[in-house]
Structure formats: C-alpha cells, structure tokens
Amino acid sequence: MADVVVLGSLNMDLVLKTERNPSPGETICSQSFEMHPGGKGNNQAVALGKLGAEVLMLGCVGRDDYGKRLVRNLRENGVNADYILEVDDSSGIAFINVFKGQNTIILYSGANGHCTVDTVKPYAHIIKGAKILLTQLEIPYETVKWALKTAHDNGVITVLNPAPARPLDEDIWRNVDVIVPNEIECKALLEPEANRMEYGDIIKRIIDKSVKNVVVTLGAQGCVYNSGDTIKRQEAVATNVVDTTGAGDAFIGGLVFALSKGKGIDEAVWAGSRVAAIKIGFMGAQEYVIDPDIFS
C-alpha cells in the first residue's frame, strides 16, 4: 500500500518571531505571527511526500478546523491521509518562538494522545505491508513499542526518531534498525553515563543494543553516524539560515526516502543533509520547496 508508513504526531504550529527569547515573567513583542502544519510525524511524512515517496500517515487529529487543515495539507503534499482518525479532543498544538534562526517550542499533545495501541491495531496490515516504518515519541510510548515490534517481526525496516528525549527499554531497542536522535536525545538514551562519552562511543554503545545504524544530528555541525563498524561525520550543507524549525524532520525525511530506494547509509545521510539545508532557508516546518528529482 505504501513504501513508507509514518506513525506519529500531527500538530498545528503557532509561530511567533522575536529578537530573543523572553525571560521568566517578561513580556516582549512579536514581529509576526504565522500558522503552519507541524508535528514530527507530520513534518517527516510531508518531507517524504515532497520527495515523491509513496508515503502513508497514521495518526489522530481533533474534530476541529486545525484537524481539517492538517489532513488537507498532507494530501496536498502527496501523503496518503486516508487513515488519519478524528477524535474528540483538540488537534495537537505547538507554540513556537523563533529568534535569530533558533527556536523554542511548547507542545500540547491533544489528539495525539489518543493514538493508542487499540486505536492503531486495526491498521497493523498497513504497517506489515510497508518497506519502512518511521515513528517518533510524540504519541503514546506503548503504541510506538507495539508498532516497532509489529513491523520488525514482519521484516519491515524500522526507523525511530526518539523525540522527545527519554531513555528507552529493551522492547524498543530490539526492534529498531535505524535510530536518529539529535545531540540532546542522544545523551538521554543512555543516561547518565552518556554525559561523559563522545558521540562515537555513544553510537557504539547503541549498536551493542542490536541497532544497525545510529545517526546523531548536530544542527550546524552536521551529523555523526556509523557505516558498519566505522564512525563517520557528515558536515552540514552550507546555506542561509532563516528558520531551523523542522530541520531535523526534513533530514529524517531525506534519509528515509533514500533508504526506501535501496540506498546505503552513506547516501542516505547525504540525502538527509541536503533536504535539511533546503528546509532551513524557509520559514515554518513545511513551507520549503524542493525538486522531487533532486536525487535522481
């Protein structure tokens, strides 16, 4: 039914742009207000859709205008949204402050919290029929655990973006093929010893948990990853920074797209880096324009 199934969150991003982040108790004025579709699962699915992947999204939205906009936007970006479920709650909301190309985010999960095992289990056949399952941690943890096991047991490549950051249990580790944390999430995976370790050592420790590939994204410093037993670094692609919101999701979209086409990890990391560089030249998590033939 789809090469890539994305199971994850859908949010509406409410974006304010300021010169700096306010201090506690302080009120400052915003230069602008914008509303953009977001959520890690949503962003990653849209990145894949922009690249021309056969991608299907599983998730939940509220019975509100935000939910309708989120579903419509998925379809406009080439994502199969036929299995997005409406629930009796607000759609997920993210309040984002952008300042000098950086951002801070406050998240309300809303409908994403209804994406339970019982809700998703009727669509197990969709996960089993995919080449790749891509998921994150903005939906209930037990749902992620169930989906990764369902996919892994049926020979589907599993990709996990472990965000928000938290330690993982063995029922997750044994069913993940590729894990893509950022520098904060990377250290949270192996608390507390990771705070004293280099990225290469952290990657090796995670590989020992049966994960095939670890890709640690480092923003402007690019990423560190393993190719077999070798630790490598991919420099970030130089570009004009407008807004970093969703850059990690764009990276993951590019990486998973390449993997879905049978590319190796080196090519996949390079693909992710190029898509992320394009994204940060635009405001918002999804409003970037990309040539779907970029990797042809």
Residues marked active site are found at 249
Task: Give start and end residues of each alpha helix (H) in the chain.
Answer: 40-50, 65-76, 117-120, 124-128, 141-153, 170-173, 183-189, 199-207, 247-260, 265-279
Q: Please state, in angstroms and rounded to a whole number, the distance separating the CA atoms of residues 112 and 59.
A: 7
Classify residue 142 by its DSSP letter.
H
Q: What's the one-letter identity of residue 39?
A: G
Determine the distance from the C-alpha atom of residue 5 to the mean position of all C-alpha atoms in its chain, rounded to a whole number: 13
For helices 247-260 and 265-279, give the axis angle rounded to 10 degrees.
Answer: 140
Q: Is the dihedral of CA 157, 162, 269, 15 positive or negative?
A: positive
